[in-house]
């Protein structure tokens, strides 16, 4: 599948494209360090979001502990500055099968296993991307530094409904927008970067495109047969577009238009 074929449905799904002003800021050499650090953190957060969903809605306590242990080395690197590329390479992967809750949450019913399968694959890919970004940083002599979180994800999550299954549907829709925006930005930014980074960002397009589709599919399944979620998708599309196009003093991978 060509990059155009991958991006066409994403550009149709998103309510706006990344402003040229953001691209102009992102391609400045002095911003590369911040961009790579934030990208790496975004990969971890994407994996964490998937983990939180299946821990809350789908899996038993022992499986939940397994997932937490899987993430710990990556979280220790980001939050405690412990570990390095070599130690992460030796990080043990999931050692046991994920077990569903004995009585699955009514919100998911028959879709519990599909949620787990899709989110576990997403987690594996996001943590691999985390490692790849760190590998690039290490090769370029870019040291990790703590940075503050941007407004993007919080700006959408504050609109999540407070009752189920609407809350889960909203979270899945938000996940779709985050993955779609990541894919769009990788594609737009890649031509302005050096060959190695260009190839790396282009290589991420396929997985990000699949992630957004997986989230949307799950949102529809959780809502239930005959329930139209197009209004909710459109609502979050407007929220997301506002965050992307409005002025933003804090430059990050998912930030709005630079001031």
Range of the domain at 181: 3-252
CATH number of the domain within which 113 lies: 1.20.1260.10
Q: Cβ(184)–Cβ(253) under 8 Å? A: no
Task: State pLDDT tens for residues 175-234.
Answer: 999 999 999 999 999 999 999 999 999 999 988 889 999 999 999 999 988 899 999 999
> Does 49 reside within a domain?
yes
> Does 258 reside within a domain?
no
Total domains in the fold of the chain: 1
Please, is 199 exposed, middle or buried when counting C-beta atoms within 10 Å of its C-beta (0-12, 13-18, 19+)? exposed
Please, is 240 exposed, middle or buried when counting C-beta atoms within 10 Å of its C-beta (0-12, 13-18, 19+)? buried
> Does 130 reside within a domain?
yes
Q: Cβ(176)–Cβ(216) under 8 Å? A: yes
Task: State pLDDT tens for residues 156-173.
Answer: 999 999 999 999 999 999
Q: What is the mean pLDDT of residues 41-61?
A: 94
Q: Could you tell me the pTM of the whole model? A: 0.94
**Helix (H, G, I), strand (E, B), or coil: what is residue 256?**
coil
> Does 58 reside within a domain?
yes
């Amino acid at each position: 599948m060509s990059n155009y074929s991958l991006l066409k449905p994403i550009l149709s799904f998103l309510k706006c494209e990344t402003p040229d002003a953001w691209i102009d800021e992102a391609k400045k050499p002095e911003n590369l360090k911040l961009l790579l650090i934030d990208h790496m953190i975004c990969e971890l957060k994407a994996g964490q979001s998937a983990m939180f969903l299946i821990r809350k809605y789908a899996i038993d306590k022992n499986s939940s502990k397994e997932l937490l242990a899987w993430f710990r080395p990556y979280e220790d690197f980001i939050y405690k500055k412990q570990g390095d590329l070599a130690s992460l390479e030796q990080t043990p992967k999931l050692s046991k099968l994920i077990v569903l809750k004995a009585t699955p949450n009514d919100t998911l019913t028959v879709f519990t296993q599909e949620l787990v399968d899709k989110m576990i694959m997403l987690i594996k890919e996001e943590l691999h991307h985390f490692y790849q970004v760190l590998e690039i940083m290490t090769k370029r002599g870019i040291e990790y530094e703590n940075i503050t979180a941007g407004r993007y994800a919080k700006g959408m999550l504050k609109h999540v409904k407070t009752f189920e299954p609407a809350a889960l549907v909203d979270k899945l829709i938000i996940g779709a927008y985050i993955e779609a925006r990541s894919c769009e930005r990788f594609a737009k930014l890649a031509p302005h970067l050096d060959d190695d980074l260009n190839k790396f960002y282009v290589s991420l397009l396929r997985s990000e495109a699949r992630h957004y589709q997986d989230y949307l599919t799950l949102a529809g399944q959780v809502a239930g047969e005959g329930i139209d979620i197009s209004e909710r998708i459109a609502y979050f599309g407007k929220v997301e577009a506002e965050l992307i196009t409005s002025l933003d003093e804090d430059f990050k991978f998912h930030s709005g238009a630079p001031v």
